[in-house]
């Protein structure tokens, strides 16, 4: 893992972001802790379809089942990607 200070991270943020996206582990030292810089998967689910209980209640059973199956599938894929990212650092070229 490459660790850098906040000042160093600010100076070269673009480069560190590119490294993190490429799969390198980047840590930013914040006090006595290290904060990881890594890409995340963001899934967009319409709040009115998934978050508002009144709207969800108006969906048919088939629509609810489809929505929840889709959410479960997206979460499983995100968990798999997260596990792949955390499986260990890739060797850096010399």
- Provide the pLDDT for residue 92: 65
CA distance 6 to 35: 10
How many domains does the chain contain in total? 2
Same domain, 44 and 85: yes
pTM over 0.75: no
| Residue whose C-alpha is closest to residue 45's, from 78, 73, 67 | 67
In a domain, 18, yes or no: yes
CB neighbour class for 26 (10 Å; exposed up to 12, middle 13-18, buried from 19): buried
Same domain, 45 and 85: yes
Same domain, 12 and 28: yes
Give Dmax over CA atoms of the chain in angstroms: 59
Residue 26 has pLDDT above 60, yes or no: yes
In a domain, 94, yes or no: no
- Provide the pLDDT for residue 52: 63
Number of Cβ within a 10 Å radius of residue 29:
15
In a domain, 17, yes or no: yes
């Amino acid at each position: 893992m490459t660790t850098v200070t906040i000042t160093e991270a600010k100076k070269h943020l673009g480069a560190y972001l590119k490294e993190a996206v490429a799969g390198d582990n980047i840590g930013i030292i914040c006090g006595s802790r290290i904060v990881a810089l890594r890409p995340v998967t963001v899934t967009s689910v319409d709040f009115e379809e998934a978050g508002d209980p009144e709207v969800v209640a108006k969906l048919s059973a088939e629509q609810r089942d489809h929505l929840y199956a889709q959410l479960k599938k997206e979460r499983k894929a995100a968990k798999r990607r997260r596990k792949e990212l955390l499986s260990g650092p890739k060797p850096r070229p010399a």
